[in-house]
């Protein structure tokens, strides 16, 4: 069985873990290839951008896609519309959760959209519970 070579000279603790402050690449340090590429491109951003636009206007589909992706990035999410009851109390959250499940089952919402809305419903429920507990605690403290 091989023995571990641990100790301060290896930067490891006696248990074999890296010690705090272990030397390595400093935060924010860049790879040599990245630094070299940035040095080559330094001062050329405007000319490169202009050339990409010219190629796109001339019909180069790759350049066109590159330009459009910068102008109009893909949407991360979109608003959704479906019927959901108003939520005023904790009991209403059960009705809202049922409406979300029904909307997913009917195809009005995707499962991912349903999960996101359920997260909002659950957050609302937790906020109601916290508010209720706070008011109950205040009432108990007022009695004493």
Q: What tens digit of pLDDT does each residue of 90-126 get?
A: 889 999 999 999 999 999 999 999 999 999 999 999 9
Q: How many folded domains does the chain comprise? A: 2
Task: Give the pLDDT score at 10.
Answer: 65
Q: Are residues 42 and 69 in the same domain?
A: yes
Per the CB < 8 A criterion, the answer to whether 58 and 51 are in contact is no
Q: Which residues of 91-104 are buried (b: 16+ CB within 10 A; e: fewer)?
A: ebbeebbebbeebb
On whether residue 57 sits in a domain, the answer given is: yes
Is pTM, for the whole model, over 0.85? no
Q: Are residues 70 and 95 in the same domain?
A: no
On whether residue 131 sits in a domain, the answer given is: yes
Per-residue pLDDT reduced to its tens digit, 53-70: 999 999 999 999 988 888
Asked whether residue 22 carries a pLDDT value surpassing 60, the answer given is: no
Per the CB < 8 A criterion, the answer to whether 121 and 87 are in contact is yes
Q: Are residues 101 and 63 in the same domain?
A: no
Task: Give the pLDDT score at 39.
Answer: 83
On whether residue 68 sits in a domain, the answer given is: yes
On whether residue 15 sits in a domain, the answer given is: no
Supply the range of the domain harboring residue 95. 90-143
Instruction: Spell out where 32-129 has E strands.
Output: none
Identify the three-state secondary structure at position 125: helix
What would the two tokens of residue 130 be?
């916290």
On whether residue 37 sits in a domain, the answer given is: yes
Asked whether residue 3 carries a pLDDT value surpassing 60, the answer given is: no
Q: Are residues 113 and 138 in the same domain?
A: yes
On whether residue 127 sits in a domain, the answer given is: yes
Please state, for a pLDDT cut of 70, what percent of the chain lies above it. 87
Per-residue pLDDT reduced to its tens digit, 33-48: 888 888 888 888 888 8
**127 phi/psi in degrees, rounded to 5:** -65, -40
On whether residue 69 sits in a domain, the answer given is: yes
Cα separation, 30 vs 80, in Å, equals 41
Task: Give the pLDDT score at 5.
Answer: 61
Q: Are residues 104 and 67 in the same domain?
A: no
On whether residue 27 sits in a domain, the answer given is: no
Per the CB < 8 A criterion, the answer to whether 54 and 60 are in contact is no
| 120: nearest Cα among 57, 77, 71, 64 | 77
């Amino acid at each position: 069985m091989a023995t571990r070579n641990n100790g301060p000279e290896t930067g490891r603790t006696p248990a074999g873990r890296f010690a705090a402050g272990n030397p390595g690449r400093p935060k924010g340090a860049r790879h040599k290839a990245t630094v070299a590429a940035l040095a080559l491109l330094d001062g050329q951003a405007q000319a490169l951008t202009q050339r990409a636009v010219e190629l796109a206007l001339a019909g180069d589909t790759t350049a066109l896609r590159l330009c459009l992706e910068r102008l109009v990035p893909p949407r991360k999410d979109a608003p959704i519309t479906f019927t959901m009851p108003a939520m005023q109390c904790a009991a209403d959250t059960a009705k809202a959760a049922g409406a979300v499940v029904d909307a997913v089952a009917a195809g009005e919402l995707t499962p991912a959209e349903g999960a996101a809305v359920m997260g909002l419903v659950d957050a609302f429920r937790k906020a109601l519970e916290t508010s209720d507990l706070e008011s109950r605690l205040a009432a108990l403290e007022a009695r004493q």
